[in-house]
Amino acid sequence: MKEVLVVGGGPAGLTAAKSLIDMGAKVVLVEKTDSLGGMARELTCKGFVECRNCGVCFAIDRANDILRESGAEVLLLSEVSSATKAEHGYSVKIKTSPRYVTDDCIACGKCVSVCPVDGKAVFPPTGSGQPRTYWIDRTKCIHFKKARCEKCAAVCPTKAVDYEDRATNLTRAVSAIVYATGIDPIDACEMSRLGCGTLKDVISSVDAERILNWKGRLVRPSDGKPPKKIAVMQCVGSRTVKTGVEYCSKFCCKYATKISQLLLDIDPEVSLDFYFMDLRTLYEPQDEFKTWAKSKKTVRMLRTMPATVTAGKEGKLLVRAASETDLDISEAEYDLVILSVGMRPSASGWDLAKTLGIARDENGFAKGSESLEREGIFVTGAVSEPMDIEESAVRAISSASKIRGSRGEPP
Ligand SMILES: Cc1cc2nc3c(=O)[nH]c(=O)nc-3n(C[C@H](O)[C@H](O)[C@H](O)COP(=O)(O)OP(=O)(O)OC[C@H]3O[C@@H](n4cnc5c(N)ncnc54)[C@H](O)[C@@H]3O)c2cc1C
Ligand code: SF4
Ligand code: SF4
Ligand code: SF4
């Protein structure tokens, strides 16, 4: 049976792969990084007492589903080097980089603790990425430079370190290709007036998600203390000509409202100011967050885009913003500022897209089309337009169904 190639192991690619397998297809899933899960690997579960439907666990569960599937060939640290039209689809060449750690890894972390390289040369998989197999970065590892450093191999309890691992080149015949290369978060430091990169306690929402995911609570990068007064700022880098991202990134209101609620769940004493232009909580009623905010004495919703963030007195951050009703400038001090960033389509994979005939729209997103689908090329997930995990999954299921429809049964 011919297989389907899925490019990208994020929520969209994983869901497409699972749906295709459930329909009886075989899937080759190519992911360029060390693990499956996509952007969701770096995101925190936003539930505390109860689930807040953020979708993050869904993506990690999907990754584990795919790893258990016998119908999936999962190729990590891999990229498609070429795709050429063949009789019943495409002949694709895939290059897989060596990991230098085998599946016997039990993720004990002993290798990292003994690695003498500054910044380390052996790493756990990104965030909550699956599988939890570690990997060695050959460009940093001194074993490959001066030879004979085998400290990680010496402490590894399962003998999982394999310096003889080599790059492989594979060829697969596939009947269809799912293109799901996803997103890159906007760099908050592109908005330098908000203190990113110069003030330690100004962090991006990506940083906030990573810290919460890793530690379960937020602390100030400058002194390690839990912040008591926090500002959350929306639309950072989105809806502005400055970054070239003139569109609404669509999911940042949703995650930022849930992070705000999580922060209050973790510490009910926290004061939180939520600066926003419009509240776009996707499929959930905006009123829900507004009602929640009104019910909390320490939460304010401020409909304005702050002008600057500068250093205040005694380690505080000073935020200047026009008031909601007139142009009077108000000032407020905070312990921590979170900049809620949006997204751009992933910068990776465009050579392949070009080969496959996938064009970009005026904002740089990948354009799917019926004619491409007739050729067996399916663009899905957030590389095609801003969307959250849930919508990425829904679109991916739709793509899988179309593949089944157009490529016969099973594909
Ligand atoms: C700060 C932040 C917080 C968020 N919080 C939430 C939230 O709480 N809830 C929610 O629903 N959504 C949230 N999102 C949005 C969510 O991350 C996206 O909706 C989702 O990740 C999109 O899934 P995707 O599979 O399309 O893309 P991605 O998750 O970006 O996955 C794409 C995958 O493709 C891989 N890839 C890229 N190029 C190639 C290539 N050339 N070859 C092989 N592989 C490649 C990437 O490495 C990646 O693994 C958040 C986003 C950000 C930035
Ligand atoms: S061989 Fe040495 S330098 Fe390389 S990853 Fe192992 S401990 Fe680090
Ligand atoms: S020491 Fe071995 S088993 Fe432990 S994390 Fe490192 S490679 Fe994996
Ligand atoms: S989703 Fe909200 S924060 Fe994100 S760009 Fe749109 S309005 Fe701004």
315, 193: one domain: yes
Q: Is residue 300 part of a domain?
A: yes
Q: What CA–CA distance (Å, rounded) separates 75 from 32?
A: 8
Count of beta carbons in the 10 Å neighbourhood of residue 150: 12
Residue-level pLDDT at 110: 98
41, 176: one domain: yes
Nearest CA, atom 5, ligand 4: 248
Q: Is the pTM of this model over 0.85?
A: yes
Which contacts qualify for 45-53: CB closer than 8 Å, 24 or more apart? 45/213, 46/255, 46/258, 46/259, 46/261, 46/262, 47/262, 48/262, 48/265, 48/266, 49/265, 52/258, 52/261, 52/262, 53/284
Q: Does residue 284's CB lie within 6 angstroms of at least one atom of ligand 1?
A: no
Token digits for 97?
């980089």
d(CA 164, ligand 1 centre) in Å: 32
Q: Does residue 114's CB lie within 6 angstroms of at least one atom of ligand 3?
A: no
User: Model confidence over 380-398: pLDDT tens digits?
Assistant: 999 999 999 999 999 999 9
Of 35-44, 127-136, 219-228, 273-282, the one with minimum mean pLDDT is 273-282
Of 63-72, 145-154, 278-287, 292-301, the one with minimum mean pLDDT is 278-287
* Per-chain mean pLDDT for the chain: 94
Of 128-132, 142-146, 166-170, 301-305, the one with minimum mean pLDDT is 142-146
Residue-level pLDDT at 94: 98
Bridge partners of 4, per DSSP, are 27, 176
Residue 37 CA: distances (Å) to CA of 4, 29, 59: 19, 12, 6
pLDDT-based confidence at residue 242 (cuts at 50, 70, 90): confident
d(CA 89, ligand 1 centre) in Å: 27
Q: Does residue 280's CB lie within 6 angstroms of at least one atom of ligand 4?
A: yes
Check if the beta carbon of residue 308 is closer than 8 Å to that of residue 194: yes
Confidence check: pLDDT of 326 > 80: no
Nearest CA, atom 8, ligand 4: 235
Q: Is residue 64 part of a domain?
A: yes
Confidence check: pLDDT of 406 > 90: no
User: Model confidence over 218-234: pLDDT tens digits?
Assistant: 999 999 999 999 999 99
User: What number is the average pLDDT over the span 337-342?
Assistant: 97
Which ligand has the shortest distance to the CA of 279?
4
Q: Is residue 288 part of a domain?
A: yes
Residue-level pLDDT at 291: 94
Check if the beta carbon of residue 252 is closer than 8 Å to that of residue 209: no
Q: Is residue 154 part of a domain?
A: no
d(CA 219, ligand 4 centre) in Å: 25
92, 173: one domain: yes
Separation of CA 173 from chain center: 29
8, 69: one domain: yes
| One-letter amino acid of 151 | K
- Tell me the residue range of the domain where 329 lies: 187-342
Q: How many distinct structural domains can be found in the chain?
A: 2
**Residue 328 CA neighbour count, 13 Å, CB half:** 6
Confidence check: pLDDT of 256 > 80: yes
Residue-level pLDDT at 211: 95
Atom of ligand 3 nearest to the CA of 109: 5
67, 171: one domain: yes
N-terminal to C-terminal alpha carbon distance within the chain: 8
Q: Is residue 389 part of a domain?
A: yes
Confidence check: pLDDT of 285 > 90: no
Check if the beta carbon of residue 7 is closer than 8 Å to that of residue 219: no
Confidence check: pLDDT of 320 > 60: yes
CATH of residue 88's domain is 3.50.50.60
73, 173: one domain: yes
Q: Does residue 127's CB lie within 6 angstroms of at least one atom of ligand 1?
A: no
236, 326: one domain: yes
Q: Which three-class secondary structure state does DSSP give residue 208?
A: helix
Residue-level pLDDT at 1: 40
Check if the beta carbon of residue 186 is closer than 8 Å to that of residue 341: yes
Confidence check: pLDDT of 411 > 70: no
Separation of CA 1 from chain center: 33
360, 259: one domain: no
| One-letter amino acid of 87 | E
Q: Residues near 183 by Cβ (< 8 Å), separated by ≥ 6? A: 39, 343, 344, 345, 346, 382, 383, 386
Bridge partners of 7, per DSSP, are 30, 179
Bridge partners of 173, per DSSP, are 91
Closest CA to 229 of 339, 335, 312, 313: 335
43, 16: one domain: yes
Q: What is the bridge-based pairing of β-strands 336-341 and 202-204?
A: parallel
In degrees and rounded to multiples of 5, residue 194 shows phi and psi of: -95, 10
Of 196-210, 239-253, 289-303, 396-410, the one with minimum mean pLDDT is 396-410
Confidence check: pLDDT of 405 > 90: no
Q: What is the bridge-based pairing of β-strands 26-30 and 72-75?
A: parallel
d(CA 297, ligand 1 centre) in Å: 35
Tokens 């293109």, located at residue: 179
How is the beta sheet containing 329-334 ordered, strand by strand? 308-311, 317-322, 329-334
User: Model confidence over 46-104: pLDDT tens digits?
Assistant: 999 889 999 999 999 999 999 999 999 999 999 999 999 998 899 999 999 999 999 99
Confidence check: pLDDT of 283 > 80: no
Q: Does residue 121's CB lie within 6 angstroms of at least one atom of ligand 3?
A: no
Q: Does residue 342's CB lie within 6 angstroms of at least one atom of ligand 4?
A: yes
Residues touching ligand 2 (Cβ under 6 Å) are 114-115, 117, 121-122, 136, 141-143, 149-152
Check if the beta carbon of residue 17 is closer than 8 Å to that of residue 29: yes
Q: Which three-class secondary structure state does DSSP give residue 228?
A: coil
Of 21-30, 173-182, 239-248, 367-376, the one with minimum mean pLDDT is 239-248
Token digits for 296?
């909390």
251, 289: one domain: yes
User: Model confidence over 182-199: pLDDT tens digits?
Assistant: 999 999 998 889 999 999
pLDDT-based confidence at residue 208 (cuts at 50, 70, 90): very high
299, 367: one domain: no
